[in-house]
Every structure is written in structure tokens, then in C-alpha cells.
Amino acid sequence: MKILDKFFSKSTKNHEPEDVMKIARIIGPLVDKKVQEIFGEYKMKLLNEPITYIVPAVWGAKKDGELTATQKEINEQVVPVIIKIIESFQVRNLSGAQAFAIGFLTRGLIIAKITYMIEGVKNRVTNKNSSWEENTDILKDLEPLGTA
């Protein structure tokens, strides 16, 4: 009978509510800060290259050929962020597939935020009815604000 009582009775244990934002409060600012640092440091290179230039830089691999020196530098900044994000989950014995999935999602987020910033700057410059080449000088002093 005790088994049935346990099954049908309501639990009276007081559980502390879980802070569902705990990990998000770590990951969000970490990614935003790194994206702003990368864009701030490499904005001229990123603005002058095709939009796809950032993808191999974030992934650290290129399908055809070698990474440029700038792409390697960007990747060296991205990898520690991904490691910190994986560690923030505080999961023991994380499988290779799980770690890759977290890295995959994080890299995608970084790429999306950087491309958003690149396109935003290009749109602002072209909306002022002047040529792109004439306005590259003002971009040297551009500082990113906010988060993408």
C-alpha cells in the first residue's frame, strides 16, 4: 500500500526554482563581446572581402586552399570562446557529437552576427547616395555599438 501512496500522493518537497537564464547570461555577453572585438579589429578587411570570407575564418578551415593570415587570427579568437561556452554547460562526459553540436550552433551565431554587422555598415554607407570606395576612409574610425 505504501507504494501506491507514494505514486498517487502529491510531492510536498520544496524545490528551488531553476535559473533557466543562468547559461544564457554567460553565453550571450561572451558571444556579443567577441563579435564586437572581431568586427572592430578587422572591419576594413571584412568590409572589403566577400560576405562569405568570415565563414572559413570562424570555422578555421577552407574547402579549397589555405586560410589567409587574417582568417587564422579570427579563428584563434573564436576557438577559446567556443571552449568557454562548452564548459559553461558544466556537463561531464560530453560526447564528441554533443561538443560539435554546441560548437556548430555557436559558430553559426557568430557568423550571423558578424555578417549582420557587415551588411548593416554597407547599407548605411550606400543609403547616403555615395560610392562605396569614397566612404571607406570614414569606416576606419567606425566603432560598433550595441549587439547584433
DSSP state of 141: T
DSSP E strands in the chain: the ranges are none
- Rounded CA-CA distance 113/21 in Å is 21
pTM, to two decimals: 0.74
Dig out the grid coordinates for 34 from the structure.
567577441
Residues 13-68 have pLDDT tens digits of 556 677 788 888 989 999 999 999 999 999 999 999 999 999 999 999 988 889 99
Residues 53-112 have pLDDT tens digits of 999 999 999 888 899 999 999 999 999 999 999 998 888 888 999 999 999 999 999 999
